[in-house]
Amino acid sequence: MVTPILNTKTKNSQERIIESLFEKAEDYSKTSIELLKLNAIDKTADMVSSIITRLTLFAVTTLFIFVITIGVALWVGELLGKTYLGFFVMGGIHVTIALLIYTFRREWIEKPIRQFIIFGLYE
């Protein structure tokens, strides 16, 4: 008769151990999922803030180039005797720059952006 009592106690203790393991596994999985969520939020926040910073810098630089271009166009137009000729010269320079950028867009734009995104995600 002693044996059945030990078996019952052993079964109860094994059940508690197994139940405890399941609870710990559940807690671990919940914690892991929460950690993944927090890491994703952190990386997203870093990427978005970096993109917004770069877009702001791009906008300010574009405005600066626009104002400088107008000034140079007026100056070149004065040198050539006709204001509109300065704007044609600057237009030609801008078309040349646009063609260069289009020709080398993969090396100058696409590849650095791709590397920036990959580096940001794996950082």
Distances (CA, A) of 72 to 47, 76, 86, 92: 37, 6, 8, 13
Task: Supply the pTM of this predicted model.
Answer: 0.63
pLDDT digits (tens, 9 = 90+) for 20-73: 898 999 999 999 999 999 988 988 888 889 889 999 999 999 999 999 999 999
**DSSP class of 32:** H
Exposure string over 75-111, b if 16+ CB within 10 A, otherwise e: ebbeeeeeeeebbebbeeeeeeeeeeeeeeeeeeeee
Q: What percentage of the chain exceeds 70 in pLDDT?
A: 93
For the chain, the structural domain boundaries read 9-122
pLDDT digits (tens, 9 = 90+) for 64-119: 999 999 999 999 999 999 999 999 999 999 999 999 999 999 999 899 888 888 88
